[in-house]
Amino acid sequence: MKSGLKNLINSHFQLYPKMQIQDLYKLIYQSVMGPKHILQNEEIAFYYLKNEMENCIGNEKNLFVNIGLRNNLVRVNLNIFRKQIDDIEKLFSVMQKTAENIQSEKIQLKIVLEEIKILFKKNNLKLFQPSNWISVIEKLERKNFPHISHSEVYKKNYFPSYRVILKEIFLEKFNHELQNIETF
């Protein structure tokens, strides 16, 4: 998995060269844990989705950005989704179905974070100082690996507005709408 992990990280740094440590952690968190954290209160989650879709700007070019390590998780860009499909209820049902289908375990998250530490130590990733990565991850581990927001640098430069979903569920649900859309 290390080569897949390294490829995922490198591809995101190519897309988002101003990523910070917390953005890398968030990417890994989402790739392992999926969207369950956002759906703990579905009424609030739907409200935030609706509000974000009404106000998103974003500069993404593709409907999907791959984040999956062991699955086909993607970030679906809300700005593009709103412009091309705009069916919030269906999207929310895809989020719910994704959460049902992803086994999210913090022990698995810890294993992947350890693999990243090894990649840094072996100098296979030259994105941050290994000691900085280790320090941040140790702090997050003491807090039981919480979900965190993107860094201010990331927000300012990339205007992230997406939801994490399983691509195959999305494609199944939106098959008809996607016939004339470029997804990647």
Q: Give yes or no for residue 63 having a pLDDT over 50.
A: yes
pLDDT of 88 over the 70 cut: yes
pLDDT > 90? residue 157? yes
pTM: 0.91
Is 176 or 76 the better-scoring residue by pLDDT? 76
Coil, helix or strand at residue 147:
coil
For residues 154-165, average pLDDT: 95
- Tokens at 123, concatenated: 């100098």
Residues 6+ apart with CB under 8 A from 23: 16, 150, 151, 154
Q: Which domain holds residue 106?
A: 2-180
Q: What is the pLDDT of residue 121?
A: 78
The domain total for the chain is 1
